[in-house]
Amino acid sequence: MAEADFMINSDLVKSQLLKEVLLGFPITPDKFAEVFELSKKVPSFQIFIDSIHTFELLESYVASNNETAKVNVYMKVDCGYGRAGAPLDQDETVDLAKRLHDSSSVHFLGIYAHAGHSYASENAESAFEYFQNECNAARAFRDLFAQHGIHIQSISIGATPTVKALLRFMNDKNVAKILDGITEVHAGAYAFLDRQQVSTGLGTFDDVVLSVACRVSSIYPSRGSILIDGGALAFSKDTAPQGGFGQLFTDLDRQEPVAALTKIAQEHGVVANLDDNALSRFEIGKVVYVIPNHCCLTAACHAFYLIIEEGKDTVVDVWVPVKGW
């Protein structure tokens, strides 16, 4: 919500560059007042609802506060990830869709899903299979609702691996047929990418634009390891299929990955299993660069981002993210 508030009250909306803002988490009652307030400031402020109980609380809020504006609602559905969203096989799901469709309090946009389970992809083919499965699952919701007289206009699906696979096979597969009925494909980590995304086989470390600059604090020849001043507070403790907590490089050009970040504590990062040749590349105070496992969590750990143009080591801008939620 903090991000939505910042974006909606920024010059992006005033200049009409930003016309739609989606709060990407199922709404809770404590945020209803802010939702309606922000809805008055942007052409389309959109929220998720995935339970009848939440919808009933929203209806009650509207009646109690004499709200006349309609809020835009996507019904969050589960297309296989199992994290959030209404399931296909419950009667309550159809009931919720019908009540959203018939409500005078909301504008029912359609359904929204996220294929987070596609992060398990190991290559483009498997990621594309996840994409096809999500398309089929989304259409199953559409067809189920249509059987009950509920005709939705928007179906939004996607995740970074599936979007990258879609782009990879855009000219090779029967994409038009696969996309039948799908109105939007979205992605999240796509902007930065990270070590986990590299594990899907849909990109390389050269495609990742985010790294964390750390310094070598200590060198331990007897145990073949170094200590850097970046730990869980710099990267998070998310793991990746490759093992470890990040990939360490000695320069921004990323000519050669040195090793994985082996162990982390709150502020400490340990790179182990280094032979004498690898250890010789380090000295106390040397700046090293770590590509994190999960760019989303890592980005949230830091107060600002230094922007460096490709092929250069000069900072051309500083971006300050919105903190909190």
- d(Cα 3, Cα 324) in Å, to the nearest integer? 8
Please give the average per-residue pLDDT across 156-174, as a whole number.
91
Q: Are 289 and 252 in contact (CB under 8 A)?
A: yes
Please give the average per-residue pLDDT across 28-43, as a whole number.
95
Q: For residue 16, what pLDDT is reported?
A: 93
Percent above pLDDT 90 for the chain: 90
Computed over every residue of the chain, the mean pLDDT equals 94
Q: How many CB atoms lie within 10 A of CB 93?
A: 22
Q: For residue 254, what pLDDT is reported?
A: 81
Please give the average per-residue pLDDT across 296-322, as a whole number.
91
The CATH architecture one would assign to domain 2-187 is Alpha-Beta Barrel (3.20)
Which class for 235: exposed (0-12), middle (13-18), buried (19 or more C-beta within 10 A)?
Answer: buried
Q: For residue 310, what pLDDT is reported?
A: 77
Domains 2-187 and 205-319 share a fold: no
Q: Are 296 and 188 in contact (CB under 8 A)?
A: yes
Please give the average per-residue pLDDT across 237-261, as a whole number.
90
pLDDT-based confidence at residue 176 (cuts at 50, 70, 90): confident
Q: How many CB atoms lie within 10 A of CB 18?
A: 15
User: What are φ and ψ of residue 236, in 5° steps?
Assistant: 85, 180
| CB half-sphere exposure, 257, CA atoms < 13 A | 16
Per-residue pLDDT reduced to its tens digit, 56-102: 999 999 999 998 888 999 999 999 999 999 999 999 999 999 999 99
Q: For residue 93, what pLDDT is reported?
A: 97
Lowest mean pLDDT among 30-44, 74-88, 160-174, 193-207: 160-174
Task: Give the closest residue to 145 by CA, choosing from 101, 80, 105, 85.
Answer: 101
Q: For residue 38, what pLDDT is reported?
A: 95
Per-residue pLDDT reduced to its tens digit, 195-247: 999 999 999 999 999 999 999 999 999 999 999 999 999 999 999 999 999 99
Percent above pLDDT 70 for the chain: 100
Give yes or no for residue 118 having a pLDDT over 90: yes
Q: For residue 69, what pLDDT is reported?
A: 84
Q: What superfamily would CATH give domain 205-319?
A: D-serine dehydratase-like domain (2.40.37.20)
Q: For residue 56, what pLDDT is reported?
A: 97
Give yes or no for residue 290 having a pLDDT over 80: yes
Q: For residue 222, what pLDDT is reported?
A: 96
Q: For residue 172, what pLDDT is reported?
A: 80
| DSSP letters for 72-138 | EEEEEB-SS--SSSB-TT-HHHHHHHHHHHH-SSEEEEEEE---GGGGG--SHHHHHHHHHHHHHHH
Q: What's the Cα-to-Cα distance from 211 to each of 31, 230, 293, rounded to whole Å?
A: 34, 12, 10
Q: Are 128 and 168 in contact (CB under 8 A)?
A: yes
Task: Give the closest residue to 291 by CA, choosing from 259, 317, 315, 265.
Answer: 259
Q: For residue 311, what pLDDT is reported?
A: 72
Give yes or no for residue 325 having a pLDDT over 80: no
Lowest mean pLDDT among 66-70, 103-107, 123-127, 305-309: 66-70
Q: How is the chain split into domains, by residue range?
A: 2-187, 205-319
Which class for 82: exposed (0-12), middle (13-18), buried (19 or more C-beta within 10 A)?
Answer: exposed
Q: For residue 109, what pLDDT is reported?
A: 97
Q: Which two tokens stand for residue 203?
A: 């990109």
pLDDT-based confidence at residue 145 (cuts at 50, 70, 90): very high
- d(Cα 241, Cα 38) in Å, to the nearest integer? 40
Q: How many CB atoms lie within 10 A of CB 117?
A: 18
Give yes or no for residue 313 having a pLDDT over 90: no
Name residue 292's beta-bridge partners. Answer: 246
Give yes or no for residue 324 having a pLDDT over 90: no
